[in-house]
Amino acid sequence: MGPKMENLLEVKAIEVNFTKGRETLQAVAGVSFHVVEGETLGLVGESGCGKSTTGRAIVQVNPASSGSVLFQGQDLAKLSRSELRKARLGMQMIFQDPISSLNPRRRVRDIVREPLDIWEIGTEHERQTKVDQMLRDVGIDPETSGDRYPREFSGGQCQRISIARALIMEPKLLICDEMVSALDVSVQAQILNLLEDLKERYGLTLVFIAHDLAVVKNVSDRVAVMYLGRICETAPSEDLYRSPRHPYTAALLNSIVEPDPESPIAAVTVIGEPPSPINPPSGCRFRTRCPIAQDRCAQESPELRETSPGHAVACHFPLNN
Amino acid sequence: MTEASPIVASSEQESSKTMGILFWLAVGWIGLTVSLAVFANLLPFQDPNYQNFEAINAGPGMAHWLGCDDLGRDILSRIVFGSRVSLIAGFGAIAIGVVVGGSLGMIAAYRRGLVDTLVSAALYVMLAFPGLVFVIAIVAFWGHELWKITLVLGIASIPILFRVVRASTLSFATRDFVVAAQTIGASDRRIIFKELLPNVFPVMVSFSLIGVATVIITEGALSFLGLSVEAPMPSWGNMLNESRTYLDQNPWLVLFPALAMFLFLLAINLVADRLRQRLDVTEGKL
Amino acid sequence: MAERELQFPSPARGELLRVEDLNTAFETPRGLVHAVNNVSFSLERSKTLGIVGESGSGKTVLSRSIMGLLPSAGVSNSGKVLFEGKDLLSASPSEMRDIWGARMSLIFQDPMTALNPCTRIGKQIAESLRLHLKLSAKEANLHSIELLRQVGIPSPGERAEAYPTQLSGGMRQRVVIAIAIACAPRLLLADEPTTGLDVTVQAQILDLLDELRSEREMAMILISHDLGVVATRTDEIAVMYAGRIVEKAPTKRLFANMRMPYTEALLQSTPKIENPSHTRLQTIPGNPPDLSKISEGCSFAPRCAYVTEQCRTQTPPLRQNGTDSTHHFACWNPLGTEA
């Protein structure tokens, strides 16, 4: 396939801890994955699994306390403050809450222009042209909307503006942190389609973080499933759907409610509630809810192991479909 | 596919145009007071210190619109010249408070962590001191020239402004748009000035105005203790203080300075309140 | 389990709730917002009605209007809400207090704000029992523990002493359900009961609601924006758009034979797990409607692919689908008609 198949992003065994008083919460407990240039990696899991924290660790907002994040081959932790500032331009993030992502006291044009002003790119006129073009690309009319404030827009439109701001510096990597979770279904569809279009036009690489497996599968080439700070399974989307190997992935797939009254209601295969991340279970963290857990699962933490090309599972007794 | 125009049209602007006639009257009154104070020398006011022995305790009349005090000095011009003390002390002290306390508040709220803990601790200790006692103590020993009073009142107002600005900044500093600004490479200074300050500004302004009113009253209190500006320099506070002795002979000496002070403070409070209402509402709830 | 029936007029047949021409409007700085427009439907005992709509469709205001939980200031209501024969819109506050919790209950979307963080959960359940069934403190306590067991909370005796903050989201929602069913209401309104909960917990909660409903012969109105949630758990579905019901049919029939274009568009824009990666989703162009402007004609017209001039000028009424009296829709050019 040629030299383009390098890893744009490599995450190696990162850990992110939050301390509150005397308690330490290990939000991310040893996560590793890579993202090839031009692909979309989906990161999926339920609340508390650490997926958003992972996203923020990548963009160095909550830097990892150990492990490394390599972007375009550079270890971000080893960069100086000014080098980091520059390197970060190559990766941008879109957030979950469309309203809180935009400064309520600034006009739309100024919000999208901000990166150009900070880095002093181009002349005044060039900046204006670029902003208007970017707004049009995301489906916002600069003439009627450019001078307005975020409160005058709907959730979907606010997300479009956020995307425009993120893409104006032409980053290579875009981290989408639950970016459609707060939107209505019909608006969600618009934004997802827009994302695909922009990905092609700008040659982006995406890390798409969400809790909705159907949405993630529609968008991603490969999917990584997270549970309580660790990755359970990584596979190409279709493989993950057809032959999930990890019991948690299988449970997630079973819980999906299809809008089809004829489809049978699958039996719930997971027991109880997720444990507290402050005191995670020993060994495999999923064992307290796993229908096939054994003694070994409590004693030994399973490593992520490849069972077939591109498909890796962290389980002592992976499912065999 | 281009989206249509924004959902909420300008109807919001129409409803808030009516700030109320009371608001504009209050603004006018403040403007008038300040202008008179600034331009007093150029305007045809009588010399506030000229003692006209024939007009001692005279009531309001053609020669002296608001009458004279016990030394024959024109009350009207003493009120106008005296307003300078209140205005300088009020706005000056709050300016110090806002610049120092406000900056510290924003920095503490933005950085959080250790910086916040240390700065907050220091300022909360300051806040715990009974402000008036502190002011009295310093002024009594150090001297009560106007600039000294302003400085001391200014320092005393730092903790409360710190607290208000910090609280307001905190509600914005944790929002995603601040994180977004960091990822696009904005420096901390830029974030504080361009992202946080515009959001915190409304709270700052309305709270500052209330602060001005409080300082003016405090200056009045200092006058009653003989700790404000020395005679013969007029101030609202010491006019009221002097009037105590002559209450039965010259009620105008109490009435007019008190009225002047009352109306000015009322105007400030009205403006502060209305501004706060108006600026809060414009943050839309979607 | 001791239960005392409250005195209430009961109709002879199975109809429990009948809503007739319900209208709810709010006064806002932006003008009058018509949140619910001419909504009519009926619900039989032990049946489940699903109400589906996106934000701004009016579904939450509808549930609050039915319960009578809207503030009186700035809100105008018209129409009838007949519950067991009694019109709730004209009932007095004390009559309503007898009904809430005892005959009709509501489960909210966010369990954290629905529970009082300062009171132990056992006590919160007992409150309802003591108020409506006049049980003593001791009886109420025993009852609460039993209810906690029924909603699937492990070690209910201990958990009754816990505070809401000590429970997870799924647990809290179970407690909210326990409070709602404590006095065996005849009607349960569930407003997005699983939104915000983890996917694996969602299924458990929906199962629980199903179980309780069939055990107690409760009728349920399940409100959701998610077609998947209502597809498998309801007898009948009503689709709402801009405050109106635009299609209403028994569930299976609705999915088999959609007539209103919005319903179809909603279904098609939902991403499906079977779709391969990078599937282009069907979208509904434009934005959800602004409810402060009552438009002439069909409110979906600006976004509809089949729009005609008539759609823009005349509001389509809800009419029957041919001879099928259970299926109604509001559209001038329904799907399946010849062009």
Residue pLDDT, tens place only, C165-206: 888 888 899 999 999 999 889 999 999 998 878 888 888 888
d(CA C10, CA C18): 13
pLDDT: which is higher, C145 or B47: C145
pLDDT of residue C229: 87
Q: For residue C91, is pLDDT > 50?
A: yes
Residue pLDDT, tens place only, B198-213: 999 988 998 999 999 9
Of B7, B182, B190, the CB nearest to A154: B7
| ipTM of predicted complex | 0.88
Q: For residue C281, is pLDDT > 80?
A: yes
pLDDT of residue A2: 41
Of C29, C31, C287, the CB nearest to B4: C287
What residues of chain B lie within 8 A of the CB of C55, using their CB?
Answer: none
pLDDT of residue A13: 92
- Under the banding of pLDDT at 50, 70 and 90, the label for residue B259 is very high
Rg (CA), chain B: 23
Other chains touching C, judged by 3 or more CB pairs under 8 Å: A, B
What residues of chain C lie within 8 A of the CB of A217, using their CB?
Answer: 271, 273, 275, 277
pLDDT of residue A107: 94
- Under the banding of pLDDT at 50, 70 and 90, the label for residue A268 is low
Inspect the interface and report whether the beta carbons of A261 and C169 lie closer than 8 Å: no
Q: Which of A261, A207, A252 is nearest to A233 (CA)?
A: A252
Please name each of the domains of chain A with its CATH number: 3-227 (3.40.50.300)
- Under the banding of pLDDT at 50, 70 and 90, the label for residue B96 is very high
What residues of chain A lie within 8 A of the CB of C54, using their CB?
Answer: 184-187
Residue pLDDT, tens place only, B114-135: 899 999 999 989 888 888 888 8
Q: For residue B31, is pLDDT > 50?
A: yes
pLDDT of residue A293: 86
List the single residue in A with minimal CA-CA distance to B190.
A118
Furthest-apart CA atoms within chain C: distance in Å? 69
pLDDT of residue A256: 83
A305 and A235 Cβ atoms separated by less than 8 Å = no
Closest-CA distance, C177 to chain B, in angstroms, reads 29
Model pTM score? 0.86
- Mean confidence (pLDDT) of chain B: 85
- Under the banding of pLDDT at 50, 70 and 90, the label for residue A321 is low
- Mean confidence (pLDDT) of chain C: 86
pLDDT of residue A88: 87
Q: For residue B173, is pLDDT > 60?
A: yes
Other chains touching A, judged by 3 or more CB pairs under 8 Å: B, C
Q: Best-predicted range by mean pLDDT among A250-259, C92-101, C232-241?
A: C232-241
pLDDT of residue A5: 59
List the single residue in A with minimal CA-CA distance to C172.
A273
Inspect the interface and report whether the beta carbons of A99 and B286 lie closer than 8 Å: yes
Q: Report percent pLDDT > 70 for chain B.
A: 91
Rg (CA), chain C: 21
Give the helix ranges, DSSP H, for chain A.
51-58, 81-87, 108-119, 124-137, 142-145, 155-167, 185-202, 213-219, 237-242, 247-255, 295-299
d(CA A165, CA A188): 19
Rg (CA), chain A: 21
Optimal mutation site among C27, C30, C280, interface B, most CBs of chain B within 10 A? C30
Q: For residue A273, is pLDDT > 80?
A: no
Closest-CA distance, A84 to chain B, in angstroms, reads 9
pLDDT of residue C13: 52
Q: What are phi and psi of C191, to 5 degrees?
A: -95, 100
pLDDT: which is higher, A187 or C4: A187
Q: Under CATH, which architecture does the B85-281 domain have?
A: Orthogonal Bundle (1.10)
Closest-CA distance, C264 to chain B, in angstroms, reads 21
d(CA B74, CA B239): 12
A50 and A16 Cβ atoms separated by less than 8 Å = yes
What residues of chain A lie within 8 A of the CB of B5, using their CB?
Answer: 141, 144-145
Optimal mutation site among B170, B184, B204, interface A, most CBs of chain A within 10 A? B184
What residues of chain B lie within 8 A of the CB of A96, using their CB?
Answer: 176
Domain boundaries, chain C: 259-272+281-339
- Under the banding of pLDDT at 50, 70 and 90, the label for residue C244 is very high
What residues of chain A lie within 8 A of the CB of C109, using their CB?
Answer: none
Sign of the dihedral defined by the CA atoms of residues B26, B29, B35, B40, in that order: negative
Could you give the C-alpha distances from A205 to A51, A238, B257, C311, in angstroms and in order? 17, 19, 72, 43
Residue pLDDT, tens place only, A206-248: 999 998 889 999 999 999 999 999 999 999 999 999 999 999 9
DSSP 8-state assignment for residue C134? -
